[in-house]
Every structure is written in C-alpha cells, then in structure tokens.
Structure 1
Amino acid sequence: MLSDSTVRWRCRRGKKELDVLLGRFLERHLASLGAAQRAALECLLALEDDDLLDLALGRAAPADADTAAVLALMKPGA
C-alpha cells in the first residue's frame, strides 16, 4: 500500500480537471478510506488521465464495487 504522500503525489495529473477532482477527494476522504477502497484508488491512479477522467465522469463503468465506491466519493457533494 502506498503512503499518503505518495498517493498525493500520484494525484497530481496532467489535466486540471483531474487535479481539482482528486485534490478535493483527498482533502475529504483519504483518511477515512478502508483497505479495499485504498487499493481501488491506487488502481485508479495507475490509469491514463483520459481513462481515469472517463470513469470519474461516468462515461465508463467501473470494474468492481470498491472502485465504484471510490468514484462515488469523487463526485461533487460526496
């Protein structure tokens, strides 16, 4: 499992939309993620920017329930 500082570094992306979305997500939810959600986040962060953005915006379906739960927390107001 990656350290918090490594996760924060990997959340710095090439697209401003992702930087804002992931930055807000980290502020609100990083400390409260369970092990399965943390693993799902790490898998999401391994994706290319366009693929991650498609998932975050609902243009693609998540692969499993843990990934879906993390993506739900990324939505505004979550």
Structure 2
Amino acid sequence: MTETRDTKIKRLRMRSMRRGIKEMDLILQAFADENLNRFSDDALDLYDQLLSENDHDIYGWIGGQIAVPEPYLNLVTKIAAGAQGVTRPH
C-alpha cells in the first residue's frame, strides 16, 4: 500500500519529535512544523532518509562539528539556520 502525502508528513513530524536526544527533538520538530507542508515529494524523501541517520551525527552536522555528507548538505544547512541557540548559544 502506498503512503499518502498527508500520512507521510504526519509520520515524518512524529519521527522529528521522537528522537534519541532532546536537542534533536527541539530542532527537528520546529523544522518539520515550519517546512514539511511546503516540501516537494523528493524533498520529503530526502528528509525521511535524513531521519534514519544517527542523532549524534545529525547534531554534529547541524552544529558544524562534522562535515555534512553531500546528499544532505542543502537540507542540513536549512535546518541549521533555524537551530541557532539550540546547537550553540547566541
């Protein structure tokens, strides 16, 4: 059975707010709420792939401590832009 767009967005929102570390809950939930409805289907697929990555890796990418893999570079850049103050104090 194929997942509808609305169901996929709901699933991705849930996965965004139920992460392994609290900082990722805060960062990804805010990002998902702000952006997922506007994403293309391809962008939703990429975000879904990102959510399968290790939280500590994603947090390092967002905080700039670890180089971001090329497929995620633009997406992580967008996420990081809204994460100031959560990954590092202002």
TM > 0.5 fold call: yes
**In the superposition, relative to structure 1, how do residues 58 and 36 fare at CA in structure 2: closer, same or farther (>3 Å)?**
farther
Aligned residues: 76
Alpha-carbon RMSD across the aligned residues, in angstroms, is: 2.0
Q: What fraction of aligned residue pairs are identical, expressed as a percent?
A: 22
Read off the aligned partner of 2:14 and give its amino acid letter: W
Q: How does 1:1-78 map to 2 (within 5 A)?
A: 3-11=8-16, 12-65=18-71, 67-74=72-79, 75-76=81-82
Mapped to 2, the partners of 1:17 and 1:53 lie a distance apart of 8
- 2:56 aligned counterpart, secondary structure: helix
The answer to whether the 8 Å contact 1:37/1:69 transfers is: no
Q: Which has the higher contact order (CA 8 A, sep 6+)?
A: 1
The answer to whether the 8 Å contact 1:7/1:42 transfers is: yes
Mapped to 2, the partners of 1:13 and 1:50 lie a distance apart of 10
Unpaired segments of 5 or more residues in structure 2?
A: 84-90
TM-score (norm 2): 0.70
TM-score (norm 1): 0.78
> Displacement, 1:37?
2.2
- 2:88 aligned partner: none
> Displacement, 1:43?
1.4
Unpaired segments of 5 or more residues in structure 1?
A: none
> Displacement, 1:76?
2.0
Q: Which digits, 9 at most, give the CA deviation of each residue in 1:5-45, with x for residues without a partner?
A: 11112111121110110011012111112233222211110
> Displacement, 1:62?
2.2
